[in-house]
Structure 1
Amino acid sequence: MGKLDGAVKLIFRSPVPSDPSFFVKLLELCIDSRAEKQGRLIHKDVFLNGFQSSVTLNAKLIIFYGKIGDMGYARKVFDKMPERSIVSWTALLSGYSQNGLFKDALMIFQNMHHSGVKGNQFTYGSVLRACTKLMCLRSGKQIQGCLQKRRFVGDLFVQSALVDLHSKCGDIKDASCLFEMMSERDLVCWNAMIGGYSSQGFSNDALRTFRSMLRGG
Structure 2
Amino acid sequence: MLVRRVIAVLCALGSVATLAVGETRTEAEEEALARIYDHPGPVHIIPNDALPPGLLPTLHVRSSDPAMNRAFAQARASLPAALAATEKSNGWFSPSLALYIAVFVNAPGTPIEFVWVDSIQRDGKGYRGKLAGSARFLQDNRLRAPISFLNPQIADWAVQAEDGRYYGYFTTRARLPSLDEPLAAKLRALLVGNPVPALWK
Same-fold call, TM cutoff 0.5: no
Larger radius of gyration: 1
Q: TM-score, normalised by structure 1?
A: 0.24
- Asked which structure has the greater RCO (Cα within 8 Å, sep 6+), the reply is 2
**Structure showing the higher helix proportion among its residues:** 1
Q: TM-score, normalised by structure 2?
A: 0.25
**Structure showing the higher strand proportion among its residues:** 2
